Amino acid sequence: MPDNLPGPIARRNEGTGQAGEIMVGASRTLLLKDGGKIGRALSEFLVCPLSKQPLRRCQDSQSLISDAIGVSFPIIDGIPCLVPKDGKLLEDQDVSKIENGADPSVVHGER
Amino acid sequence: MASAAPPPISSSLWRCPRGRVRCSAEHQGLFSRIAPVYDKLNDVLSLGQHLIWKRMSVSWTGAKRRDRVLDLCCGSGDLAFLLSQKVGPDGEVSAVDFSKDQLLIATARQDLYWKACYKNIKWIEGDALDLPFADSYFDAITVGYGLRNVLDKQKAMKEIFRILKPGSRVSMLDFNKSSSSLITQSQEWMIDNVVVPIASNYGLSKEYRYLKASIAEYLTGKELEKLAKEVGFSEAKHYEIAGGLMGNLVASR
């Protein structure tokens, strides 16, 4: 297999050409459409960065949940964001949803 | 330019000998600003040599087919792509960086220059001080121009030790903080007269001027070996390459 590296990404005003941009967009779309599989694979080997306990994928949102510390970490553009500051307390998210009119029994059941 | 992120929960303030205070958010902002031209500048400033150094660094890990490996502080992914080819489609590559902008560049390169083995790469936004991996998980780890930018180097080294399988190696490529005044002066001359002027063409002179102080504040090869042994590595050896301008620490758990 050739041992060379991907080149740098051309800047917008240099242009890879429309074909290149369409190809990048299409590949990313396919990858993101596979989001369900990405989420399950990630939760199989990633752990909570703080507690080092297993994570589980939230069914509704694209996120990984640390039940050990009650924090969710988002998955954005297929990339799990597991820097501790990216975590959101589950309690805070539940309160926010209820304040916005959600049924409390549904909100707590989502966990 | 990307604005700096708010201070992270686990950030620590660090006062360098010159009295400047830095935090990880400042570093994160810097790497996000240089992300769009990072690869091109690496090629230009090293005359393409950085690819050779990176191949050497990967070889030192002993990574092989079907291994499970990590590229920490992966940036736009050079070492991750090399590891991907080394471990093949049945291997696994995790690539961690704290800059979302660098990771997005990496994923764009992955898509644009697609090889079948690249589907073994998982990109993860993470903190070198709090890694999201279980104990004794990886067969090999690379860190390319990363440890020097981490505020708490001992904690990062402890995390790397924790997630390495016993008997496995970490290979850390970076600038060499030399005890030779000739090499130090050569590095400083090149930064002042080559790196910063070229970077200024991209509006990034300030971002690259930090390199001189960053190398001066880094650890020497001997200090890196000592740090690795302090956190528990059984062997640690620092190799000077590129005429002493660069160095590569190889440590075995």
What span, in angstroms and rounded, lies between the C-alpha atoms of B64 and B79? 14
pLDDT, average across residues A92-111: 63
Could you give the ipTM of this predicted complex?
A: 0.80
Give the Cα separation of B30 and B46 in Å (integer): 20
Indicate whether B200 belongs to any domain: yes
Residue B15: pLDDT over 50 = no
Mean pLDDT of B182-188: 86
Rounded to a whole number of angstroms, the distance from the CA of A105 to the nearest CA of chain B is: 31
**Does residue A49 carry a pLDDT above 60?**
yes
Average pLDDT value for residue range B12-24: 43
**Which pair of tokens denotes residue B79?**
């070492």
**Residue A73's closest chain B neighbor by CA?**
B125
Question: Is residue A32 a contact partner of residue A24, using CB atoms and an 8 Å limit?
Answer: no
pLDDT tens profile B21-30: 355 777 777 7
Q: Which domain covers residue B245, as residue numbers?
A: 13-252
Q: Is residue B21 part of a domain?
A: yes
Q: What is the pLDDT of residues B39-69, one digit of tens each?
A: 777 777 777 788 899 999 999 999 999 999 9
Whether B18 shows a pLDDT value over 60: the answer reads: no
DSSP reduced 3-state for B173: strand
**Would you say residue B171 lies in a domain?**
yes
Full-model pTM: 0.79
Contact B43 A24 (CB under 8 A): no
Kindly list the distances between the CA atom of residue B80 and the CA atoms of B64, B89, B122, B211, in Å, as whole numbers in the listed order. 14, 13, 9, 23
User: On the CB side of B79, how many CA atoms lie within 13 Å of its CA?
Assistant: 33
DSSP state of B8: P
Cross-chain residue pair B109–A48, CB shorter than 8 Å: no
Count of structural domains within chain B: 1
CB contact under 8 A, B78 and A5: yes
Asked if residue B134 has pLDDT above 50, the reply is yes
Residue of A96, A91, A37 whose CA lies nearest to A67: A91
Beta strands in chain B (DSSP E): 14-15, 21-22, 68-72, 92-97, 121-125, 138-144, 164-175, 235-241, 246-252
Chain A residues inside the 8 Å CB shell of B51: 5
CATH of the domain at B208: 3.40.50.150
Q: Which of residues 46-75 of A touch B (CB under 8 A)?
A: 46-50, 52, 55
First to last CA, chain B: 40
Please name every residue paired with B251 in a beta bridge, in sequence order, or none if there are none: B170, B236
Query: Is B60 among the domain residues?
Result: yes
Asked, for residue B119, whether it belongs to a domain, the answer is yes
- Examine residue B180 and state whether it is found in any structural domain, yes or no: yes
Instruction: For residue B166, give Cα distances in angstroms to B14, B201, B233.
Output: 32, 46, 9
Residue A60 burial (C-beta neighbours within 10 Å; 0-12, 13-18, 19+): exposed
* A94 shares contact with chain B (CB less than 8 Å): no
CA R_g for chain A: 18
Mean pLDDT for the stretch of residues B166-173 = 97
Contact A41 B122 (CB under 8 A): yes
> Where is average pLDDT lowest: A20-24, B220-224, B225-229?
A20-24
In a domain, B59, yes or no: yes
Q: Cβ B85–A3 below 8 Å, yes or no?
A: yes
Contact A46 B132 (CB under 8 A): yes
Shortest CB distance from B8 goes to which of A1, A41, A85?
A85
Chain B residues touching residue A31 (CB < 8 angstroms): 111
Q: Is residue B205 part of a domain?
A: yes
**Pairing relation of β-strands B14-15 and B21-22?**
antiparallel
At A11, list the tokens.
């800047």
Residue A67, beta-bridge partner list: none
**A24 against B129, higher pLDDT:** B129
